[in-house]
Chains A and B, each alone.
Chain A
Amino acid sequence: MDSSLAPSEQSIPLHTGALTARQIDLLLTHLPLDVTYVDAGNIVRFYSETKDRTFPRTPAVVGRSVLQCHPPSSVHRVKRILDDFRDGLRDAAEFWIQLKGDATESRFIHIRYFAVRDSAGAFQGTIEVTQDVTGIRKLDGERRLLAEGE
């Protein structure tokens, strides 16, 4: 590491490559999906602040238990998923809903939870991935890279 650089500009070695903190932030905010990471103790550690987040989050959730971020009526279901992940009973859970907004057409939202396990198989937390898949479901035929510039 070059200590003359600001912390956000120092290169962080990763398993397959290296990125600076600034690049990691930019990369995660340019993804076509929203990510929230909760550690093995159910504490929210990070969420990606994408431009058009489907479910807005505020920095206040960071450091809080994920069980405090869900309405009481559904919190036991979230807890069960996290408990199943921790116990190794399953690795993923998925949901999909049709969200009606002001738009004439509803948006198709895909919500997935993935158990995060390290290379030794130890539970290291959960990621929630939310994606607006309305456009993906409408793609027709193929559009290949070779079509670029035509």
Chain B
Amino acid sequence: MNQPASSGSPLPLHTGSLTPEQIDLVFSHLPVDLTFVDANDEVQFYSDARHRVFERTPDVIGRTVLGCHPPHSVLQVYRILDDFRAGKRDAAEFWIHLKEEAGEPRFIHIRFFAVRDPDRKYVGTIEVVQDVSGIRGLEGERRLLDEDGEGKPAG
């Protein structure tokens, strides 16, 4: 990925177009970690974010979700996917406190979303994992106007 992201032909999307390089970069810069499993429960893609909460390695691609979840929780994952497939629900969410070696535990929000096409046909599931510790600590407001007079990093 050393060539400019502007190289390669743009892929037409519903609202805009992106080159494959730009797609990779957008996904890897999002403040959430994504994993996409297709309608056959096989992992097709995960976002290669720099600091993933739950590590993924390329060998999970093409494997079933069994390869991504510990045996004790895989039954629960399958129940969610089966409900999505059957159209019983569209989302499931969980939240946990992840203990760190030092400092405060991190508040991790884990969501599963059924992905359906415009005809409501099930095409797969995305898992979205987000460290929301910072978001939960925000106070008051910080508006674009507050950029004035500040030449250093925000936050």
Contacts and interface: CB of A to CB of B under 8 A. Distances in A.
B interface: dominant SS = mixed
Chain B contact-residue range equals 35 or more
B154 interface: yes
Nearest to A109: B141
Contacts of A16: 45-48, 56, 58, 61
Given A15-B28, A93-B154, A146-B73, A45 B45 contact: no
Interface string B133-155: 00110100111111110011111
Interface residues of A, number: 78
Nearest to B11: A21
Interface in B98-136: 107, 109-111, 113-117, 123-124, 126, 128, 130, 132, 135-136
B25 A118 contact: yes
Contacts of A57: 15
B45 A14 contact: yes
Contact of A37 (B26, B96, B124): B26
Contacts of B148: 77
Contact of A25 (B14, B20, B79, B124): B14
A13 B76 CA distance: 31
A56 to B, nearest CB: 11
A35 B1 CA distance: 22
B33 to A, nearest CB: 11
Nearest to B13: A25
Contacts of B92: 148
Given A96-B141, A124-B25, A133-B135, A33 B32 contact: yes
Given A94-B155, A129-B31, A143-B95, A59 B15 contact: yes
The 9 closest A-B pairs by CB, nearest first: A17-B45, A46-B16, A148-B76, A124-B5, A77-B147, A93-B154, A90-B153, A15-B24, A16-B48
8 contacts: A15-B24, A24-B13, A26-B116, A27-B45, A49-B15, A118-B5, A118-B25, A124-B4
